[in-house]
């Protein structure tokens, strides 16, 4: 028997309002605040892109720092 996955957001919804969870999960009732839900999805997508960019910027900074230190060591020890 296959059980459907329950996401963390569903647990939060259940804790906040069991009736809303039941209406959506069991009865299949659509949410009335679809505009707010879409805005939340867009916000999370923007935030995810910002996090990915910051991770890449951090990696580039580490590489630049490593190269700067390597060049300094080469100048001090190689000269």
State residue 36 phi and psi, 5-degree precision.
-65, -35
Q: How many angstroms separate the CA atoms of 74 and 68, rounded?
A: 10
Q: Which CA distances in Å does 37 have to 30, 32, 34?
A: 12, 9, 5
pLDDT digit string, tens, across residues 40-65 = 999 999 999 999 999 999 999 999 99
Alpha helices by DSSP H, 17-78: 18-25, 34-78
Residue with more model confidence, 67 or 22: 67
pLDDT tens profile 4-14: 788 888 899 89
- How many CA atoms are closer than 13 Å to the CA of 1, on its beta-carbon side? 1
pLDDT band of residue 1 (cuts 50, 70, 90) is low
The sign of the torsion formed by the CA atoms of 28, 32, 33, 38 equals positive
Q: The whole model's pTM is what?
A: 0.56
């Amino acid at each position: 028997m296959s059980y459907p996955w329950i996401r963390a957001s569903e647990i939060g919804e259940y804790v906040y309002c069991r009736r809303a969870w039941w209406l959506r999960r069991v009865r299949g009732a659509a949410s009335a605040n679809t505009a707010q839900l879409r805005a939340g999805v867009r916000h999370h997508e923007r935030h995810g892109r910002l996090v990915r960019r910051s991770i890449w910027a951090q990696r580039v900074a580490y590489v630049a720092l490593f190269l700067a230190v390597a060049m300094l060591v080469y100048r001090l020890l190689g000269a």
